[in-house]
Structure 1
C-alpha cells in the first residue's frame, strides 16, 4: 500500500515523500519536496493525493491524515527532542580531561552550559532544557558554587589539566598574560577595584592571570585586586603552579608588561628560565655597538644576540661596548649584572610601526598648529610656553621601527636566538585563550559580589576554557563553529498510535568531520 510519509528536515523543514511498506520496512518511491511552512506542506500533500493510486488514501503511519483539501490533520506529537550529538561531544570531552573525578553533576552542567551558550547561572537551566540535556534545579546549581570553593574544585581541575597537558603536549615552556574582568557595580570593595583598563572603563574590576601551555591549553588561573599592577601578578601565579605540581624546571614566556627587575630576579632565583618581551626604548643602549659599527639599517629577519643591564634604572652598568664591533656572548658568570638580550628586525613590523608613527606625528603636528585640542600626544613638547614638535624623539623612533627585543636568562648554547624569538611568538595562544574566555565563554561582566562566588565563577570559566581549547586543538575548528554545527542536529521522539519512535537528523559533512577528528561515533 502506498502512503504519504512526512520526515523532519533541517531548520524546522518537513520532507514529504511517497512510500510503500515492503518486507517490514518503508521504501521511498518518490520525494515530492521540502516544506518550510504550513502552506507549502498543504501544497505537497495535495500533490501527493494526485500521485497516489486511484481510490487509495494515505495510511496514517506517521500520524498524518488527509482532508479533501489536502490539509494535514492529527500531526504526531513530538514528546522530546535533544541535541544528542552536541551533548555527547561535550560530555566526552569533560570525561576525557578527567573532570568527572569531581562528582558534582550541577558543576558539570554549569561548565557545559557555559560552552553552549554563555549566560547567567540562573539562565543555564534554560540553555540545558533547550538542547534536551539533563538538568538539576537552579537551587542545586547555586549550591554547587559554594561546594566549588569548599572542596577546592579549581585545584582538582588544574591537576587534571596538568596531567592532560603532560600526556598530549609539553609543559617545559609555559606562557603567561593578564587581563581584566569588570563588574556591573558602582562601589569598590577589597577585591573589586577601579584600576588600569585597556578599554578605559571606570567600573570596578579584577585582574586575572592565566598560565597556558604553548598550544594555549590552560594550566593555572588566579585573580587579584583590580588596581594591582600587572608586573606583580606573575610571581604568585608561577609559584602557585610550581607548588601545585612540583615543577622545578620550565621556561616562562611573558610580554613586555611583565618586564621588571624584581620579576626577572625572582624568576632567576627560583631556578626558572624566562623569555620576556623588551621595550623598544631599550634598543639604543642594548644596540649601541651595532649602531656605531653598522648604522641603523637592518636586513629583514636579522637577529642580534647581545646583553642588556639587569637594572635599567641605573647608568653604571653598560650593555654592549661600543668600542668593540663584536657583540658579547652572554655568560651568567661573566655578565652577572646583565641579562641576555635578543633583538630581531622584521620588514613587515617596520611597515606597521612606520604607519603608527605617521599617525602619531600627524596628531602631534595638528596640536602644534592649534588644529586639535592640546591633549598632549606623543612627540609634542613645550618650549618657552609654546608647544612644538619633538623632532629628536620622532627621529629616534623612526630609527627603531621594525625592532623587537627579548630578554632571557637562557644561554645561547641551550637555546639559539631564533628559538628565543619563536618561543615568544607563541604568546598569541594565551591572548587567544583570553579572547575565548571573554567572547565565546562570556566570562564578563561578572554579577557576583563576594570573593568566594567570584572565585567559583572563574573555576567554571577555567574548566570551560580547558574543554573548549581541547576540542579546538583536536578538530581545528573554533568552539563557536563546533557548537553551531552540532546543535541543530537533533534526536526526536515521536508518539504514533500510542508507541514512541526515535528519529534523528542526518549527520552533516561538517559534523562528521568533527566526529572523525575526535574519533567519536554517534550513540
Structure 2
C-alpha cells in the first residue's frame, strides 16, 4: 500500500516522500521535496497525494495552529491577491479559522522563464499564446494539445488547444521566425561573438507512409526509410542559436550550408565572418561559394586526403609525428589538381595568388586520437577476418576485398589506414598571418556547441514534429523549437547549469492559494539560496 510520509532531515527541514510497504519494509517511490515551514510541508504533502491519485483531484489540507500563525504573518508581510479574489483577511481571522490549501502554482519557475523570454526581446511578438507554448516546451516537451495540461500543472491559465493551433498559423503568416532570429542576433552581437559562427545539420524523420513535397526519403545515418526533413542550424561559438532552416528530406546536406549562410548574411547585412562546419560540408562547390561571398571558413577535412596533403612530410620525415604536432600546408581545391611539394623540406605557405588552385590545410597529430583510432582499426580488422573466415554475416565490411577467388583481407588499405592514425585535418581560406594553426584548431573544436544544441533540440525540447502533416505546421513547430532553444541557451549561459537542472530546481518551489472562510490569499514560497542565485542570474536583478 502506498502513502505519503514526512521525515525530519539532518538540516532541520521536513522531507515529504511517497512510499509503499512491501514485505514489511518501506520503499521510497518518489521524493517529493523538503520544506522549511508548515505551509511548505503542507504543499508537499498535497503534491504527494496528487501523485498517488494521478493528479486527478485537488485535496484540501488543514494546517495546524502553528501553520496558521506562519500563514497569517506571510499574509501581512507580502499580500498578493489573485485576480477576482477577496481582500486579504486580517491575521486574527486567518489564524482563528481553518485554513485550506485550495491551489498551488509554480509561479517562481514561470516568472523566471518569462524573464528570460523578455530579456531576449521576444516580447516584440506580442503573442502571449506563442510565449506560453515556447515556455511550456522548456518545462515538458509534448504535443500542442497536451501543452494545455503542462500549463495547468504550472498554475498558468492555459489557452484552448484550438487557440494554440490558430496562433501557430499566425506565427507563419507574420514571419515570427524572422523576428525571433533578429532578436537572437541582437542578443548575440551584444553579449557574445558573432565574428565566428558554427553550422551543422540533422535529419528529423516522420512516422508517415507517404512522401510529400517536404517529407522525403533521403540519406539516413540510421539507415531509415521513413520520410524525413533536413534541418540546418547556425549558432555562435557559445552554442546560442542564430538561424534555423528546413529542407526537403532528400536534399543533400552539403547543399544546405550556403543558402542558410547567405540568408543569415543578407538578413543582418554582414560582410565578414568565419563559418565553421564539419567534414560533411566539405565540397568544392560549397567552399568556392563561401569564398566568393567574401566569407572565411574552417571545415573539417577527410583523413583520406592526408596522404596527398602530407606527401611532403611523408617524403622527408616518414610517418613519424609528435604529440600535438601541427603541419600547416596546402590542399587541392579539386581532385584533378596536381601538387608537387616534395622538392623542399619546408611545407608550402598558402597564398591565394601563389596557389590559386589550393586551399590552406592544417593537420594535427594527437597521441590520444592515435590510440583511439588504433583500437577502432583493430576491431575493424578482426571483423573483416571474421567475415573472411565465415564466422560473421557478410555486410559492408571495411578491409574485405572480394575477388573471383573469394574474400581476402585488404592488407594495403589496412596499412594505409594505420599510417594515418592520430591525424585530423582542417581546410580554410584564412591566411596564416591572420589566424595561426593553433587557433584554426580551437575554432573548429567549438563545433561541439552546435552539436549540443542539436542534442537539446532533439531530446530536451523534442524537436521531432512526428505527426505534423503540412509544411506550414512543420515550419511553425521549428519556430517554436528555435525560440525555446534560444531561451534554454540563454538560461544555461547565464547560470552555468543545464536546462534540466534549472527546471528541477525551480519547479518544486510553489506558491499556495489559501482559503479561510470567505477569504483567499496567495502566499509566496520560501526560496532556497541555490534557487535565488538562479533567479538573480537569469533575471539580471540581484536580490530578486
* TM class by smaller structure: 0.7 to 0.9
Q: Are the counterparts in 1 of residues 68 and 94 from structure 2 also a CA contact under 8 Å? A: no
Q: Are the counterparts in 2 of residues 9 and 505 from structure 1 also a CA contact under 8 Å? A: no
Match of 1:187 in 2: 210
Any gaps of 5 or more consecutive residues in structure 2?
Answer: 1-36, 47-62, 75-92
Match of 2:375 in 1: 355
CA distance in 2, matches of 1:302, 1:19: 68
Do structure 1's residue 8 and structure 2's residue 29 form an aligned pair?
no
> 1:27-51: per-residue Cα shift (whole Å, max 9, x none)?
xxxxxxxxxxxxxxxxxxxxxxxxx
Match of 1:424 in 2: 444
Distance 1:332 1:25, change over 3 A: closer
Q: Tell me, what secondary structure is at the counterpart of 1:9?
A: helix
| Rg larger for | 1
CA distance in 2, matches of 1:62, 1:238: 67
CA distance in 2, matches of 1:19, 1:142: 44
Match of 1:94 in 2: 117
Match of 1:396 in 2: 416
Q: Tell me, what secondary structure is at the counterpart of 1:8?
A: helix
Do structure 1's residue 261 and structure 2's residue 293 form an aligned pair?
no
Match of 2:100 in 1: 77
Match of 1:176 in 2: 199
Match of 2:185 in 1: 162
Match of 1:373 in 2: 393
State the shift of 1:227 in Å: 1.0
CA distance in 1, matches of 2:472, 2:316: 59
Q: Are the counterparts in 1 of residues 328 and 347 from structure 2 also a CA contact under 8 Å? A: yes
Match of 2:313 in 1: 290
Any gaps of 5 or more consecutive residues in structure 1?
Answer: 27-58, 65-75
Q: Are the counterparts in 1 of residues 69 and 95 from structure 2 also a CA contact under 8 Å? A: no
Which among 325, 330, 334 is matched to residue 354 of structure 2? 334
Do structure 1's residue 275 and structure 2's residue 295 form an aligned pair?
no
CA distance in 1, matches of 2:156, 2:495: 23
CA distance in 2, matches of 1:81, 1:6: 15
Which among 477, 486, 510 is matched to residue 490 of structure 1? 510
Which among 119, 137, 143 is matched to residue 120 of structure 1? 143
Q: Are the counterparts in 2 of residues 261 and 311 from structure 1 also a CA contact under 8 Å? A: yes
How many aligned positions are there?
472
Match of 2:223 in 1: 200
Match of 1:222 in 2: 245
CA distance in 1, matches of 2:68, 2:277: 68
CA distance in 2, matches of 1:261, 1:18: 76
Do structure 1's residue 148 and structure 2's residue 180 form an aligned pair?
no
> 1:489-508: per-residue Cα shift (whole Å, max 9, x none)?
00111101322233343212
CA distance in 1, matches of 2:245, 2:476: 11
CA distance in 1, matches of 2:135, 2:68: 43
> 1:200-238: per-residue Cα shift (whole Å, max 9, x none)?
222111000000000000000001011111001001101
Q: Are the counterparts in 1 of residues 94 and 516 from structure 2 also a CA contact under 8 Å? A: no
State the shift of 1:445 in Å: 4.2
Q: Tell me, what secondary structure is at the counterpart of 1:252?
A: strand
> Mean Cα displacement is larger for which, 300-309 or 98-107?
98-107
Distance 1:139 1:334, change over 3 A: same
State the shift of 1:516 in Å: 3.1
> 1:266-307: per-residue Cα shift (whole Å, max 9, x none)?
100111100000000000000001011111121111000000
CA distance in 1, matches of 2:287, 2:192: 26
CA distance in 1, matches of 2:267, 2:65: 62
CA distance in 2, matches of 1:21, 1:200: 65
Q: Tell me, what secondary structure is at the counterpart of 2:443?
A: helix
CA distance in 2, matches of 1:274, 1:238: 11
> Mean Cα displacement is larger for which, 509-518 or 116-125?
509-518
Q: Are the counterparts in 1 of residues 39 and 67 from structure 2 also a CA contact under 8 Å? A: no
CA distance in 1, matches of 2:416, 2:198: 32
State the shift of 1:19 in Å: 7.7
* Structure having greater relative contact order (Cα 8 Å, sep ≥ 6): 2
> Mean Cα displacement is larger for which, 189-198 or 150-159?
189-198
Q: Give the root-mean-square deviation of aligned CA atoms.
A: 2.1
Distance 1:274 1:19, change over 3 A: closer
- With the length of structure 2 as denominator, give the TM-score of the two structures: 0.83
Which among 101, 106, 114 is matched to residue 129 of structure 2? 106
CA distance in 1, matches of 2:102, 2:392: 67
State the shift of 1:196 in Å: 1.4
Match of 1:477 in 2: 497
Q: Are the counterparts in 2 of residues 367 and 376 from structure 1 also a CA contact under 8 Å? A: no
> Mean Cα displacement is larger for which, 429-438 or 376-385?
376-385
- With the length of structure 1 as denominator, give the TM-score of the two structures: 0.87
Distance 1:236 1:296, change over 3 A: same
Q: Are the counterparts in 2 of residues 482 and 514 from structure 1 also a CA contact under 8 Å? A: yes
State the shift of 1:447 in Å: 1.6
